[in-house]
Amino acid sequence: MKELNHLLEVIEEIAAGRYSNDVMELTRPEVSEPVRSIAEAMGLMMVKVEAREYRLELLIQELRELNEQIRHNAVGTVSAMAGALAARDQYTEGHAERVGTLAGLIAAEMGLPDDEVELIRVAGRLHDIGKIGFSDRLFLPHDKKNPEDVVREITRHPQTGADILKDLDFLGEALSFIRCHHERPDGRGYPRHLTDPDIPLGAKVIAVADGYDAMTTDRPYQKGKTPEEALDILKKFSGSKWDPACVAAFERALPKALAGPAAITTCGLP
């Protein structure tokens, strides 16, 4: 009776998902029948269940890795599109890559969780993908002042970019970062003239990285500014053109950014 009660307790434990080796004690030769046979059958069953669980864990792991690989490839494919864009625009070569890196550094400096930092970095890398639809004349050397129809075409690129990428589910919120990367806290941005708090944080981070890189890069109409000069301008327009918290985080992250690629966390993405 004692053995039977023990067996019942063990079965209840197993039913509750708590596997232990207690059942094996009941398979000893001195244990009376039918408790011993039932315990043996239970022991065999547990071995099979555990083997299946192990196999299941392996499959889940494989699926995770596959999913990561698909995501990695998708970002790589879209980055190749961004590369094609850069090839059309000799003045922005490396811009998307640098903005992605800088945006990631700012986001990390702000203490955001790793997955958000990664999303902001990817969005930064793809932020201007909408320019792929620009007509060739926009990539030709031109004066600083653009004609009205050109301005109209330019202001469409954040929405065009989000539209191009909308089927990449893993981008999630990153689409709104891309759509809003030219919005400004004072409402004078585009395309929707949003104001805080309607501008996503990721978009504000990218705007700072984008502004800094644009200012420090040589253009046909301007010599690139020094990092210090660009930082002064970011701080001057902090609160109107750029988000103050993002500018402050950028100032703290700047030494790391200037230290070069070795200081950059890539979060496992290409």
Q: Which is nearer to Fe ion, 109 or 128 (CB)?
A: 128
Q: Whole-number minimum distance, CB 54 to Fe ion, in Å?
A: 49
HEC profile of 129-193: HHHHHCCHHHHCCCCCCCCHHHHHHHHCHHHHHHHHHCCCHHHCCHHHHHHCCCCCCCCCCCCCC
User: What is the crossing angle of helices 114-126 and 35-88, to 10°?
Assistant: 30
Which tokens in the block code for residue 2? 């004692």
Q: Which is nearer to Fe ion, 128 or 183 (CB)?
A: 128
Only one of the segments 19-27, 49-57, 81-89, 126-134 lies at the binding site for Fe ion (rule: CB under 5 A); that segment is 126-134
Q: Does 118 bind Fe ion (CB under 5 A)?
A: no
Site string for Fe ion, 160-179 (x = CB under 5 A): --------------------
Q: Whole-number minimum distance, CB 182 to Fe ion, in Å?
A: 6
- Which residues make Cβ contacts (< 8 Å) with residue 4, sequence separation at least 6? 35
Q: Which is nearer to Fe ion, 117 or 127 (CB)?
A: 127
Q: Does 153 bind Fe ion (CB under 5 A)?
A: no
Q: Whole-number minimum distance, CB 223 to Fe ion, in Å?
A: 21
Q: Whole-number minimum distance, CB 214 to Fe ion, in Å?
A: 9
Q: Which is nearer to Fe ion, 177 or 250 (CB)?
A: 177
Q: Whole-number minimum distance, CB 126 to Fe ion, in Å?
A: 11
Q: How many residues bind Fe ion (CB under 5 A)?
A: 1
Q: Whole-number minimum distance, CB 82 to Fe ion, in Å?
A: 12
| Distance of alpha carbon 87 from alpha carbon 82, whole angstroms | 9
Q: Which is nearer to Fe ion, 24 or 132 (CB)?
A: 132
Q: Which is nearer to Fe ion, 72 or 219 (CB)?
A: 219
DSSP 223: P
200, 173 in Cβ contact below 8 A? yes
Q: Which is nearer to Fe ion, 128 or 153 (CB)?
A: 128
φ, ψ of residue 238 in degrees (nearest 5) = -70, 125
119, 172 in Cβ contact below 8 A? yes
Only one of the segments 106-114, 115-123, 128-136, 140-148 lies at the binding site for Fe ion (rule: CB under 5 A); that segment is 128-136
Q: Does 128 bind Fe ion (CB under 5 A)?
A: yes
Residue bearing tokens 């995770």? 64
Q: Whole-number minimum distance, CB 130 to Fe ion, in Å?
A: 8
| Distance of alpha carbon 155 from alpha carbon 164, whole angstroms | 15
> For the chain, what is the total number of helices (H) and then of strands (E)?
11, 0
By CB under 5 A, name the binding residues for Fe ion: 128
